[in-house]
A = this chain, B = another copy of it.
Amino acid sequence: LAGNGSDDLLTIITRAFVGPGDLLVYPTPSYILYRTLAELQDARVAEVAFAPDWSLDPASFARPGARLAFLANPNSPSGTTLRPEQVASIAERLDCPLIVDEAYADFAESDCIALVASHPNVIVTRTFSKGYSLAGLRLGYLIARPEILAGLVKVKDSYNCDTLSLVGATAALEDRDYHEQTRAKILATRRRLTAAVRALGYHVPESQANFVWCTGGPPAAEVYQALKDQKILVRLMRYAGYDDGLRITVGTDEEIDRLLEALRAILRAG
């Protein structure tokens, strides 16, 4: 099933499975849209905290009575990934659909598409906005069992994908070489960025996405503002009960060089 961006697909899924007062489960810190979707449906939420090493206990995540569960994998802001067997273990404990939101899977070592065949409650969502750099197309798709797809087709808006986006996305899918080159470049720059930011004293989990999550430095809001003053934009992210952090997207080598230079100067001055 294709959608007008993968956020649109997450919205369709939520409308299909969750009503007022129903329980919706997702981990925290994670993608902030999940809470918004729950609020739109007047649903109750269970926000299950990741362990400090960004692992997730299947037994505590799989809340009894949940109507829908979201799992960003790779996760944002951490960039960390649960292995398919861990996701399978979560799916087995849930009595409801588990949405594995693979927006960033193009940058990861593993994905959960095979689980759709083995676990009937797994739905995998993907997007062309990240790994294919085609955010302007507003195109996402999801992979699920035929019986789930039939239910979603009923509730989605008619004609939700335009022709030009479908043609563009098809062309992008066919150009495997270009996709592989882009991916290899981003992974190399991510390694370099991770090492450099760690050397500056930040705590950075091993990322499998196209960003790195930096905590443990000086007050994040001040560093964010100092970078912004130099027209360098990173994401300042705050989660209740956690230290603020900076999510830095893996840009070109030139952009990352400029960022690292600015960041070193700010930390020296601060």
CA distance A137 to B168 in the complex (A): 13
In the complex, how many residues of chain A place their beta carbon closer than 8 angstroms to a beta carbon of chain B?
20
As for how many copies of this chain the complex holds, the number is: 2
Top 3 A-B pairs, shortest CB-CB distance: A136-B163, A138-B162, A164-B164
CA distance A164 to B135 in the complex (A): 11
With an 8 A cutoff between CB atoms, is A189 at the interface?
A: no
Contact partners of A8 in chain B: CB under 8 A: 157, 160
Binary per-residue interface labels of chain A (159-170) against chain B in the complex, 1 for a CB within 8 Å, 0 otherwise: 111111100100
Which residue from B11, B136, B139 sits with its C-beta under 8 Å from A157?
Answer: B11
Binary per-residue interface labels of chain A (131-156) against chain B in the complex, 1 for a CB within 8 Å, 0 otherwise: 00001111100000000000000000
Binary per-residue interface labels of chain A (218-249) against chain B in the complex, 1 for a CB within 8 Å, 0 otherwise: 00000000000000000000000000000000
CA distance A159 to B135 in the complex (A): 9
With an 8 A cutoff between CB atoms, is A5 at the interface?
A: yes
Binary per-residue interface labels of chain A (1-20) against chain B in the complex, 1 for a CB within 8 Å, 0 otherwise: 00011011001000000000
With an 8 A cutoff between CB atoms, is A158 at the interface?
A: yes
Query: Is B160's CB under 8 angstroms from A137's CB?
Result: no
CB distance from A166 to the nearest CB of B (A): 9
Query: Is A162's CB under 8 angstroms from B165's CB?
Result: yes
CA distance A5 to B162 in the complex (A): 9
20 A-B pairs whose Cβ atoms sit less than 8 Å apart in the complex: A4-B138, A5-B157, A5-B159, A5-B160, A7-B158, A7-B159, A8-B160, A11-B157, A135-B159, A137-B162, A137-B164, A138-B159, A138-B161, A138-B163, A139-B162, A162-B164, A162-B165, A164-B165, A164-B168, A165-B165
Residues A89-103 near B (CB distance < 8 A): none
CA distance A158 to B6 in the complex (A): 11
Nearest B residue to A8 via CB reads B157
Nearest B residue to A160 via CB reads B4
CA distance A139 to B159 in the complex (A): 11
CA distance A8 to B3 in the complex (A): 13
CB distance from A235 to the nearest CB of B (A): 16
